[in-house]
Structure 1
Amino acid sequence: MDLETVRTFVAVADAGQFQEAAAELGITQQAVSKRVAALERTLGVRLFTRTPRGSGLSIDGQAFLPHARELLRVAERAATSVRAGRRPLRVDVIASRGAATGLMRAFHRAHPEIDLDVVMLLDIETAVAAVRSGTIDASFRAVAAPGRPLPEDIAAVRVLDEPLQLLTGPGHALASARSVTVDGLAGHRIWMPGIVPGSEWGAYYDDLVAAFGLTIEATGPNFGSDALLDTIADTPALATFMGGRTRLVWPAGHGLRLIPVTDPTPVYPHALLWHRDNPHPALATLRAHLTAATAGQDTAGTWTPDWVIPR
């Protein structure tokens, strides 16, 4: 059913005359007549009867009028739900405890008037497809891994370099160190069961291993952060990398240590992805907030793979 014919029918019913309805709608009286006739053919009934004063509703027209008004209200609500600025800004943060979540929490505190939907998508292909389709408005990723260029309609800006730290249990050989050089980690077993082959963070750690001769093990099932922390606390031979902005809490009895890594400091490059034609006004506000919040980052003494987008 054509909503314009329904809107024209309601205008005639309210005005009582085709000519007044035409003036209200900004179209000709002939166009009004054609729209009403088209709606009557669709419904198979007469909606108006001629009267000395103009046009009156037929019995069928009286029955249809309240439903016609509801159709127009539903259509307006549907349009409003997706109209730029009227729906929440949907952003993918990958995981609930990572740096991207912290960035979005800070954005929410700075702009509480902006409605947010936060989602978590694991792989970059799913995230890029969601950005391109409009399912989400933006995604935090490390881009662009070798052989995986972004589509031309996807824009990206590097917003945060997150330093990696070494997490050890109390019995680890480096547990008492105030800092450790990245070369000094050679020969130590670094256990990271959450690395997904083919992911952008998988490519990052592959390059880190190649650059500094490290030993990173991704063996065994990934039971989540709690199981990882338990194992690191109880196994002196193992350590793991932890992002400096990752928010984790562990029991005091674990005795875990976070040790800065230096000379150079490996940093994980978080970037924001969005579709170049996305009209949501809050997206520009988010980009401006991230630019201001992470301005002045010093990249001296840090390391990233050579494939990441420049700052």
Structure 2
Amino acid sequence: MDPHLLRTFVTVARRGSFSAAAEELGYTQSAVSQQVATLEADLGLALLRRRPVEPTRAGARLLEHAEPLLLRLRAARADVLRAEAAPSSRLTIAVSPLAVTPDLAVRLAGPPRLDLTIRATSRDEVAAVVASGEADLGLVDGVAAPSDPLRLPDVGPLTTLGVAERDLAVALPEGHPLAGRAGLRLADLVDALWLQTPLCPVERLRDIAGDGFRIGLTYTGDDLHTVLRLVAAGHGLTLLPADSPAPAGVPLVDPRVVHRVELLHGTLTGHAQRLAERLRQ
């Protein structure tokens, strides 16, 4: 399949409109229609219904393959160009919500002074942003067993290395019956209400300790202050790094899991390589 045709199909499906896709891609609407028709002719299947514009069953299956394929192509292009790029002191680092620990923030400020841009993105997107060349380096965080790598999407040949691990605590509201404990077991909290947030997905808790963990409220943002306010108001518990300013944080003592941060990068040269070495210290 021609990747240009595939990209046009994905854009039409995502925008739900041939005209909107044409505007985004810089083509005429008739050119977009022709490209989708050519792809359908190549496969011998209808991929899009026209009114309304939405994927057919075959189109939905193709979309499952298309995004990873297009990302791998962008990653290959970025990797080749990165290897031949002239060194630059202007660097972009993609970071997930809690990836910049106090220690890593200090390492980012070390000499030589660089023109850094910190690009905030979701955990699931950090690897894709780095692989596609939109960022020079990535820092992604998550909950894991000590020294265990995070579960990251396969987006191409990226190097990953753990650069920080911190203990976790259960964030409780002030006055909670368990707030005075010296430590808590996750298994003892399976029947409690929990916040469903990108910072600590309930599904990850279930992976660690089994079923349970009822969702009291779902917050789709990643602002730590908002999460802390929701905890303080009694909407649910959550896990956060132990040094977070939780209303009443109690150390998690069992199972032994940590807040882990990993550094992601492709081929590195110049200042990007030196910064990566500093972050790995």
TM range (shorter): 0.5 to 0.7
**Structure 1 position 278 matched with structure 2 position 268:** yes
What are the Cα deviations for residues 174-228 of structure 1, in whole angstroms up to 9, with x where unaligned?
1111211233323222223x238xxxx64xx524313313515274344643343
Partner of 1:211 in structure 2? 208
Shift of 1:103: 4.5
Secondary structure of 1:229's match? helix
Partner of 1:131 in structure 2? 130
C-alpha spacing 1:242/1:274, structure 2 compared with 1 (3 Å): same
Secondary structure of 1:174's match? coil
Secondary structure of 1:129's match? helix
**Structure 1 position 261 matched with structure 2 position 261:** no
**Structure 1 position 239 matched with structure 2 position 229:** no
Aligned with residue 151 of structure 2, among 145, 155, 164 = 145
* Distance in 2 (alpha carbons) for counterparts of 1:278 and 1:263: 39
Shift of 1:159: 1.6
* Conserved? CA contact 1:157–1:271, under 8 Å: yes
- The count of residues paired between Structure 1 and Structure 2 equals 189
* Distance in 2 (alpha carbons) for counterparts of 1:216 and 1:100: 29
Shift of 1:83: 6.0
Secondary structure of 1:110's match? coil
Gaps of 5+ in 1: 1-81, 251-255, 293-311
* Conserved? CA contact 2:215–2:236, under 8 Å: no
C-alpha spacing 1:216/1:287, structure 2 compared with 1 (3 Å): farther
Pairing 1:1-311 to 2, within 5 Å after superposition:
84-95=86-97, 98-100=98-100, 102-125=102-125, 127-141=126-140, 145=151, 148-151=153-156, 153-192=157-196, 194-195=197-198, 202=201, 205-213=202-210, 214-215=212-213, 217=215, 219-222=217-220, 224-235=223-234, 238-246=236-244, 248=245, 256-275=247-266, 277-279=267-269, 281-292=270-281
Shift of 1:171: 2.5
Higher alpha-carbon Rg: 1
Displaced runs of 4+ in structure 1, greater than 6 A?
Answer: none
* Distance in 2 (alpha carbons) for counterparts of 1:129 and 1:257: 36
C-alpha spacing 1:122/1:207, structure 2 compared with 1 (3 Å): closer
C-alpha spacing 1:269/1:229, structure 2 compared with 1 (3 Å): closer
Secondary structure of 1:117's match? strand
* Distance in 2 (alpha carbons) for counterparts of 1:265 and 1:123: 22
* Distance in 1 (alpha carbons) for counterparts of 2:237 and 2:121: 27
Secondary structure of 1:238's match? coil
Shift of 1:274: 0.7
C-alpha spacing 1:184/1:123, structure 2 compared with 1 (3 Å): closer
CA RMSD of aligned residues (A): 3.0
Partner of 1:12 in structure 2? none
* Distance in 2 (alpha carbons) for counterparts of 1:85 and 1:102: 28
* Conserved? CA contact 1:209–1:215, under 8 Å: yes
Shift of 1:112: 4.9
Return the TM-score normalized by structure 2.
Answer: 0.57
Give the letter aligned to residue 242 of structure 2. Answer: G
* Conserved? CA contact 2:170–2:239, under 8 Å: yes
Give the letter aligned to residue 122 of structure 1. Answer: S
* Distance in 1 (alpha carbons) for counterparts of 2:233 and 2:217: 17
